[in-house]
Each structure stands twice: as C-alpha cells, then as structure tokens.
Amino acid sequence: MAKIVAVANQKGGVGKTTTAVNLSSCVAALGKKVLIVDLDPQGNTTTGYGISKRSVDIGTYEILIGEADARQAVRKTEFRTDVIGSNTRLAGASLEMIDLPGRESRLRKALAPIQKDYDFIFIDCPPSLDLLTLNGLCACDSILIPVQCEYYALEGLSELISTLKTVRKKYNPYLDIEGVVFTMFSVRYNLTLQVVEQVKKYFGNKVYQTTIPRSIRISEAPSYGQPINFYEPKGKGSEAYMDLAIEFVKSNRPAEAVPKRRRGKAAAEPVETMGLADVKMDG
C-alpha cells in the first residue's frame, strides 16, 4: 500500500514543484514504484515529466469531478515514474467542487483504488490554501515542506503549520510532517544559516540532512521535460536530489538496504556540518 506524500508550501517560488518532480524521479530510480499527481493548475509537474498539458485528456480535474477514475488518468513515462497530469480545466475545479459531496476528500477517494499499485504517491500541491490544496492534505499520510532560506520563508511556515493543525482537527487526524528540506541553499549567505537555525529549533530531526543547492541545471531541466537525474545525471543538483531520495526512503523503510549517501565534491552540503544542534520538535 503506497504512502501518500503531499509536497506543499503555500509560499510560491520555494522549489516545491522542482522538489516534487526530482524527488519522485530519484525515488523511482532507487527501484520504488512511484506515482506523482499534479494538483497544481499551472501544470509544471506535468510538463516537467515531458507531458504536454494539451495532451492531458484525463487528468487530476477529471478524477476530482468524478468524470473518470484514477487508473484511466495514469500516464506512463520514460522516467520510471507514473504521472497523473493536470490540464487548464483544473483551474476551475475549486469552484466546481464546492457543491459536490465530500468536496475535501475527493482526491483521497479517487486514489484509493490504485494505492496498492505503488510504493509512494507524491502530490504536488498548488502554492495556495484553496480547495485543491485541502484535497491534497486530506489525501496524504504526510507532508513534505520545501523551504527556501530567506526571511519570508519563516512567515510562510508559521501559516502552513497553522493550516496543518486545522486540517488535522477537522479532516485528517493522522496527517504527519514527513520532513522539511532546504532548497536554493548556499552557505555563503548569513541569512541562510539564520533561517536553518530557526527552522531546526522548531522541527528538529524532521529537517532533512540533505540540502538542495542553487543550480542553473536544476532550473534548466523542466524546459527540456526531464527530471534532473536524467537531464544531468552527474551534476551536483542530481546528486543532491538522489541523496534526498535515499534519505527519504531510509526514513520510511529503516531496515531496508539502500545505497549509502555520497560524500563526493558534488554532493549536497548536509545540515549536520553546520554546527547546529538538533532540537526536538515542540509538542
């Protein structure tokens, strides 16, 4: 039975879709059966896997509205990862779902029949707190939060945590935090270290050791319709996301043998090397 992980942050521009695409691809490269669901009307996850949005006749919108089942919407890709893509109609789904029964849990019910076919299902949520994101949070077992190392990221995190508490109380009592991953990371900036310290004070061991560096190649890969581990397999961006995937799989299968983290020059800088002590998560 697949573990469902929502990749979410209501603040835009933090590398959310980039992380959803590349982490899911790297987890699949480790031999796991992976599906990614594009819940963002912008459809960047869809195009990031080389699928034209115009070609998506059956996608997230259709399964949310009830016009099709999830199995019909699954697209196989050359990257070992299956995709349920989005099309332009998804932008109006929030309004159309308002009067539908079980509006906040429609994605969860839609994915249930195919959950047994995968090890992990990732959901790329929109950078907002609308009914689409609520469906993502209600459907998932845990949430993975990408955080850019800047001041406003902390403000967005506090709002997101407040949202998670509400969702737990009303809709999904088992919703857990999968982890927090730092994106667009550079130790050259003092602000980076300050943000890392603040986030670790709250989340403690929920913060991934792997960090994702700033990389032109990571930015380029979507325009070629490829995850970074296919676009530039030996680059530092690819190695960082592969390290994140290894860490992710280890945390979900502690006893399972997975490759050891690389320590080469191209590997991402782990948070543990910064001299920051782990602080246990509050509550």
Nearest to 160 by CA among 183, 127, 138: 127
| pLDDT(229) > 80 | yes
Which of 73-82, 149-158, 170-179, 234-243 shows the lowest per-residue confidence on average (mean pLDDT)?
Answer: 149-158
The sheet with strand 81-84 has its strands ordered as 74-75, 81-84, 34-38, 120-124, 3-7, 142-148, 176-183
Q: pLDDT at position 190, please?
A: 63
Compute the distance between CA of residue 216 and CA of residue 100 in angstroms, rounded to an integer: 43
In sequence order, the 6+-apart residues with CB closer than 8 A to the CB of 280 are 204, 205
Which of 40-44, 118-122, 278-282 shows the lowest per-residue confidence on average (mean pLDDT)?
Answer: 278-282
Q: Look-up: residue for tokens 């406003």?
A: 152
Q: pLDDT at position 264, please?
A: 39
| pLDDT(129) > 50 | yes
| pLDDT(7) > 50 | yes
| pLDDT(52) > 60 | yes
What average pLDDT is seen over the chain?
Answer: 87
Which of 68-82, 196-210, 253-267 shows the lowest per-residue confidence on average (mean pLDDT)?
Answer: 253-267
Cβ(160)–Cβ(167) below 8 Å: no
Which of 15-24, 42-51, 274-283 shows the lowest per-residue confidence on average (mean pLDDT)?
Answer: 274-283
Residue 108 pLDDT class (50, 70, 90 cuts):
very high
| pLDDT(137) > 80 | yes
Residue 130: count other Cβ atoms within 10 Å of its Cβ: 15
Cβ(47)–Cβ(223) below 8 Å: no
In the chain, which residue ranges form alpha helices assigned H by DSSP? 16-29, 44-48, 60-65, 70-73, 93-97, 106-111, 131-139, 151-170, 190-203, 216-220, 228-231, 236-252
Region of residue 282 (phi > 0: left; psi between -120 and 50: alpha; otherwise: beta): beta
3 state SS of 152: helix
Residue of 148 and 29 predicted with greater confidence: 29
Q: pLDDT at position 259, please?
A: 47
Going by their DSSP bridges, the two strands 3-7 and 81-84 should be labelled as: unpaired
| pLDDT(188) > 70 | no
Give the CA distances from residue 18 to residues 109, 112, 142, 283, in Å, rounded to whole numbers and listed in that order: 26, 26, 18, 31
Query: For residue 167, which phi and psi values (nearest 5 degrees)?
Result: -65, -40
Residue of 26 and 153 predicted with greater confidence: 26
For the chain, percent of residues with pLDDT exceeding 70: 87
Which residue(s) pair with 34 in the sheet?
81, 120
